[in-house]
Amino acid sequence: MLIGTASLAAAAGLPMAADAKARKKPAPHTPAKGATTMTNPSYVTTKDGTQIYFKDWGPKTAQAIVFHHGWPLSSDDWDTQMIYFLSKGFRVVAHDRRGHGRSTQVSEGHDMDTYAADANAVVEHLDLKNAVHIGHSTGGGEVARYVAKFGGNGRVSKAVLVSAVTPIMLKTDAFPLGLPISVFDGLREQTANNRAQFYKDLPIPFYGFNRDGVKPIDGVIDNWWRQGMTGSAKAHYEGIKAFSETDLSGDLKAIDVPVLILHGDDDQIVPYKASALEAIKLVKHGTLKIYEGYPHGMLTTHADVINPDLLAFIRA
């Protein structure tokens, strides 16, 4: 996610006093060589020791939809979609990116390669196959890298990029449509100097609440702030480089499954002309839909429209 130039124990009960000697302790679980380990039912521990929090709702035999959130939020940003698709009979999975939400606030690994590897750790742990991966904003970049790198062997059936940072956000000689580095330097400065206030200001253009006739929704703004402030300032600061400077062109070209690209033409965060209109040129099996007047956070503001469109693509 990013700003465009114009705006940027369980309580453990004591065991019954019974015949303790008669109880046999279960043999300790030994993970396969090279595999990730899990210390809590809602976490996967990656190879570098990072604990990635995830939600896994619905029937385990149903087709899975995996959601990848944007910067600087958490899997909670997908709650509306997860409840919707759960009601349609799907299994829904979402994780908090490292340094975000409830995942470990580690010092290192805030780059797109590691983001994708962490997502793969969740997928492998749950042994998801034939899954649909949906990413919003930075999460769209994560989906592109994940599907290109780990999506073989029947793991992925389709991918969706919503208001995504693909193919690249930064203006370069090879990509003159991108935003200047000064935009991202400004994001870093605000994140470092007064993150709490910045995260109150940013949802306004994010959801288009600064447009004429659009009434801000306090609960939506507060929820955005809550999610952002739960994460690590260092992860958010370093994540700006990840979502702005990572060139995902090669990843888009490598994806072999159908890809749906959705974007609002009033996105003040990730301008659609430099993202969706360019990304669609790079995928092999792509479908593009632009929504007139929709903001960056259209999954929240226009869920009544976007959710059925996602469902139609998944079921097609």
Indicate the burial class of 178 (C-beta count within 10 angstroms; 0-12, 13-18, 19 or more).
Answer: buried
The reported pLDDT for the residue numbered 41 is: 80
Beta strands in the chain (DSSP E): 37-40, 43-45, 51-57, 64-68, 91-95, 131-136, 156-162, 259-264, 286-291
Selected catalytic residue, list 103, 137, 244, 275: 137
Measured in whole angstroms, the distance separating CA 238 from the mean position of its chain's CA atoms is 16
Contact criterion met (CB below 8 Å) for 40 and 67: no
Confidence of residue 20 (pLDDT cuts 50, 70, 90): very low
Strand partners, 289: 262
Domain assignments of the chain as residue spans, ordered by start: 35-315
Give the CATH class of 35-315.
alpha beta
Condensed to tens digits (0 to 9), the pLDDT of residues 101-112 reads 999 999 999 999
Residue 137 bears catalytic tag: yes
Strand partners, 286: 259
Please tell me which residue in 75, 236, 267, 275 is annotated as part of the active site. 267
Band (pLDDT 50/70/90 cuts) for residue 311 is very high
290-300 as b/e, with b when 16 or more CB fall inside 10 Å? bbeebbbbbbb
**pLDDT tens-digit series, residues 89-142:** 999 999 999 999 999 999 999 999 999 999 999 999 999 999 999 999 999 999
Whether pTM exceeds 0.75:
yes
Residue 296 bears catalytic tag: yes
CB 13 within 8 A of CB 5: no
Tokens of 237: 């600061």
212 counts as catalytic: no
Contact 269, 225 (CB under 8 A): no
Dihedral of CA atoms 239, 147, 133, 233 in degrees, nearest 10, equals -10
Question: Does 36 or 223 have the greater pLDDT score?
Answer: 223
The distance of Cα 204 from the centroid of its chain, to the nearest Å, equals 20
β-pair partners for 159? 133, 259
Share of the chain above pLDDT 70, in %: 87
Token duo for residue 151: 């999506």
Percent of the chain at pLDDT exceeding 90: 86
> Could you tell me the strand order of the sheet in which 91-95 lies?
37-40, 43-45, 51-57, 91-95, 64-68, 131-136, 156-162, 259-264, 286-291
Distance CA 99, CA 193 (A): 18
